[in-house]
Amino acid sequence: MNDAGPGAGSTQTWQDEVTRDLLNLGGRLALLVRGEGSHVWDADGTRYLDFLGGIAVNALGHAHPVFVEAVSRQAAILAHVSNYFATPQQLELAARLKRLAGTGEHGHVFFANSGSEANETAIKLARLHGRKTGKTTIVSLNGAFHGRTMGSLSLTPKPAYQDPFRPLLPGVAHIDPTLEALEAAIDDTVAALVVEPIQGEAGVVPLPDGFLRRARELTTAHGALLIVDEVQTGVGRTGEWFAFQREGILPDAMSLAKGIAAGFPLGALVTFGDSDLFYPGTHNSTFGGNPLATSVGSAVLTEIETSGLLANVNERGAQLRAAVAGMPLVTGTRGAGLLIGVTLSALVAAEVRDAAQRRGLIVNAPTSDVIRLAPAYTIGDAEVDEFTSVFAAALAEVAASSPRSEADRSGTDPKDHA
C-alpha cells in the first residue's frame, strides 16, 4: 500500500481491506497517509485541518521537527532494554514530571505505554492501599472514561462498554459527579477516589466548582487516596501543566498519557507521597519507560516549556470559544485551554462532524450534542481562521437540513470513540 491508496489497478477499496484485515471495532472515517503541522492528507490527496489531534494526543501537531529529531536520534542510540535496566532517558523524564507536577522529593513515577495501562497501575495502587488500611471500595464518577482494559473498564460506568465483559472488577462504586454525591460516598470504607478533572468522553464536562478541593478534604479525612486521571487533560492540554493545578490541590497520584509524547506511545503514573506500597513483583511493563519513548517525552515537554506553548493554548482556546459563539446550532462552550466542547441545540453532532470532514475539517462527536475540539498546541491565527470558516459552513449546512426529532435519536454515533 502506498500514498496512491490500496488496491491500485483493482476495484478493491481501503474500506474492503479494513473489513478483511482488521477487527470490527469501529468505523474508519478516512485513510490518512501523511501529516504536517495541523494538517493531514488522505490517500486521495485531500487535505484536512486536524482539530481532533489524535484524540488530544498530537500536542505538537504532525511531524514536528522536535518530535522527528528526538525519535531519529534516540532510535540510532538505544531503543529498548526491558524493565531489568534503568536508562538516563527514563530518569530524566521522571525527574521532569515530578518537578512540573510539584510532587516534592517523595514522588515517584512508573512508565507504561497507554492511558489504560497507567490507570491499571492506579487501580493496583488503590488495592494495595486498601489491603494496608482495610478499605475495600474504589469510587469513580458516572460519565467517566478511564480505559478499556478490564480494570480501567470497571471504572468506566458506560453500559455499552461494560455489559459484554461482565463480571468486572469487584469493589468499584460509581457516583454522580456532584458535591452532594461526593459527600455521601466518601467514608472509611473507601480506598480511593478516581476522577477526571474534565470528562472528555461525556462531552468535555468539567467537574463542578469546588469538587476537587472537597474531594481532597474528604479523602484526606477518611484515609483514602485521591487519584486524578489526567490522561486527556494533562501535559498542557488545559493551559496548565496539569488540570488539578487549577484547583490548588495535590492528589496522591495521577495518570498520564496522550500528549506526554505527542504521538509516541507512552503513559505514566505519578505518585505524590511516600510510595511504599509497590515492591518488586507487584507490577511492571516490558516496554514501559523504554529509552526511545522517554527520550521523546522529554523532548516534547522541553518544547512545550521553552516555546511558550501553555500561553498559546490559553490564547487560542479563548479565540476558538469566541469564534464559535453565535454560530448556527451553537449554544455554548465548555472545557479549558484547547480541550473544548461545543454544545449544540440539537442532537446532530455526528452530522456536524461529517459535514465538517467533507469540507476538510476533522472534529469529534463524543456525544450526540457536543463537538470536541483538541487541536495542536502550536495552532496560530491561520488555523483558527480556517477552522472558523469551515466549521461555520458545516453548522449552517446541518442547521438548514431537517434534523430528526430527539425522540428518534439516542446515544452516540457508533463511529465515535473516546
List pLDDT tens digits, range 372-385.
999 999 999 999 99
- d(CA 405, CA 239) in angstroms, rounded, equals 37
- d(CA 270, CA 103) in angstroms, rounded, equals 8
Mean predicted confidence (pLDDT) in 302-330: 98
pLDDT of residue 402: 52
Active site residue 258: yes
Mean predicted confidence (pLDDT) in 207-228: 98
For every residue of 277-346, DSSP letters joined together read S--TTS---SSTT-HHHHHHHHHHHHHHHHTTHHHHHHHHHHHHHHHHTTSTTEEEEEEETTEEEEEESS
Architecture of domain 14-63+308-408: Alpha-Beta Complex (3.90)
Catalytic pick from 42, 50, 229, 416? 229
For cell 488545559, the residue is 238
Q: Do the domains spanning 14-63+308-408 and 67-306 agree at the CATH topology level?
A: no
Mean predicted confidence (pLDDT) in 389-405: 85
Active site residue 85: no
pLDDT of residue 388: 98
For cell 470513540, the residue is 417
pLDDT of residue 61: 98
- The SS3 of residue 159 is helix
Buried b (16+ CB within 10 A) or exposed e, 25-36: eeeebebbbebe
For 244-288, write each residue's pLDDT tens digit: 999 999 999 999 999 999 999 999 999 998 678 999 999 999 999
Kindly tell me if the per-residue pLDDT of 409 is higher than 80: no
Range of weakest confidence among 4-13, 23-32, 210-219, 255-264: 4-13
The answer to whether 296 touches 74, Cβ cutoff 8 Å, is yes
- Percent of the chain residues past pLDDT 70, beyond the cut: 93
Domain ranges of the chain: 14-63+308-408, 67-306
Active site residue 145: yes
Architecture of domain 67-306: 3-Layer(aba) Sandwich (3.40)
pLDDT of residue 9: 53
For cell 476533522, the residue is 362
- d(CA 371, CA 321) in angstroms, rounded, equals 12
For 122-173, write each residue's pLDDT tens digit: 999 999 999 999 999 999 999 999 999 999 999 999 999 999 999 999 999 9
Strand partners, 341: 334, 372
Catalytic pick from 252, 258, 272, 416? 258
Catalytic pick from 110, 145, 244, 264? 145
pTM of the model: 0.93
For 83-119, write each residue's pLDDT tens digit: 999 999 999 999 999 999 999 888 999 999 999 999 9
